[in-house]
Structure 1
């Protein structure tokens, strides 16, 4: 059995190892550590050395507080609180920073963020000015050009719902006769329903047969 390397006195993030622990985690021996905030924390060697544990938990709490945008602070006296564009802005912030928000798992949980320019006291004002200068209308929705990128001026545009649907990660594109279209677009071109095309593909049909060209 390998001898446990003594980590006493070593520092990992905010934690300083003060002694061997008197409890086990995951079946492994632990180290008793003191966090910079004064709290004690038990951690195994691997978690400390890999950087998986850097504090008693206070670092994560601080990070969450920093990222949790207080929408009441953002709601400056712009007179637009009941407008459609403010609801879009509000929802954009919520799905990136509020775990309870519908869709958080597809945005904030994936690391999607909102740029600094659109956050804080002047965040909505800056967002609104960008929107009206870049084609905003009540018939369009905010869309990210790179679906894995953040909400920021260079990666956002105003799109129809159809255009936005074609930009989702779940969108299926088919190539036929040198052309590539989404199922929605092929449905309009061929007159077949999306469900019919999709079912044919699931059954192993070639693109040509799925689209009814053979």
Structure 2
């Protein structure tokens, strides 16, 4: 199984070989890798596969250097949201890891950099905060089965996020307000407003049903 990874690139690491070492309890797989920076390293295979290890260590150094820069965001809620997102996906000791990293949810490589995360989302964050308040502004994934990427995240109030979470548990698509209608063999989109369910239509393609739901959210939820 691990041999199949030879030649693949995960994060900054290109896997060139696989070997097994006995740690006294069992044989563990280790990958020999070439990092983008040029270093050759030997790393735990499970750590590379899960995304916990993405480089020879140069990425960590860059992150530390970035944290030392004076972007003035340390201690802010926006910075905490970025850090919490990464912790849930890559720290297997975090209480939320089983629902995120444990399910294979990752953060896009661009957002390894806080500056890039800020560049992409800070303006929309400020707009949402102005409307709903800082403590009521959360980062929500549109499709909970997909990664943290620019086209799969939005800002949502805690109430909407909690409501969406309950709805997702009852859908067949994993997308809030989109479910499969068996008799019609189509995707049905709907939205709930003040305890009233508003039907948005039936669609052949899941993407179109999801888009109809997004448009309705803007209309009814702002």
TM-score (norm 2): 0.50
For 2:139, what is the secondary structure of its paired residue? strand
Q: Which of structures 1 and 2 has the bigger CA Rg? A: 1
CA distance in 2 between partners of 1:128 and 1:91 (Å)? 14
TM-superposed CA distance for 1:84, in Å, is 0.6
C-alpha RMSD over aligned residues:
4.0
1:163-174 residue pairs with structure 2 within 5 A?
163-168=160-165, 169-170=168-169
Change (3 A) 1:103 1:66: same
Q: In the alignment, does 2:48 pair up with 1:66?
A: no
CA distance in 1 between partners of 2:142 and 2:160 (Å)? 11
TM-superposed CA distance for 1:62, in Å, is 4.5
Deviation per residue, 1:125-158 (Å, 9 max, x gap): 1111222233442231101111111111100111
Q: Which runs of 4+ in 1 moved over 3 A?
A: 35-41, 61-65, 67-74, 169-173, 178-182
- Flag structure 2 segments of 5+ consecutive residues without an equivalent: 5-16, 32-43, 172-176, 180-187, 197-222
TM-superposed CA distance for 1:180, in Å, is 5.0
| Equivalent of 1:133 in 123, 145, 155 | 123
Deviation per residue, 1:161-204 (Å, 9 max, x gap): 1221122243687x9xx99556x953xx6xxxxxxxxxxxxxxx
For 2:92, what is the secondary structure of its paired residue? coil
1:108-123 residue pairs with structure 2 within 5 A?
108-119=101-112, 123=113
Q: In the alignment, does 2:154 pair up with 1:157?
A: yes
How many residues get paired?
Answer: 141
Residue pair 1:97, 1:108 contacting (<8 A) in 2 also: yes
- Flag structure 1 segments of 5+ consecutive residues without an equivalent: 1-10, 15-34, 42-52, 190-214
For 2:164, what is the secondary structure of its paired residue? coil
Residue pair 1:67, 1:97 contacting (<8 A) in 2 also: no
Q: In the alignment, does 2:142 pair up with 1:145?
A: yes
1:16-95 residue pairs with structure 2 within 5 A?
37=19, 39=21, 55=29, 58-63=44-49, 65-67=52-54, 70=60, 72=64, 75-77=67-69, 78-95=71-88
Change (3 A) 1:144 1:73: farther
Change (3 A) 1:154 1:38: closer
CA distance in 2 between partners of 1:146 and 1:154 (Å)? 10
TM-score (norm 1): 0.52
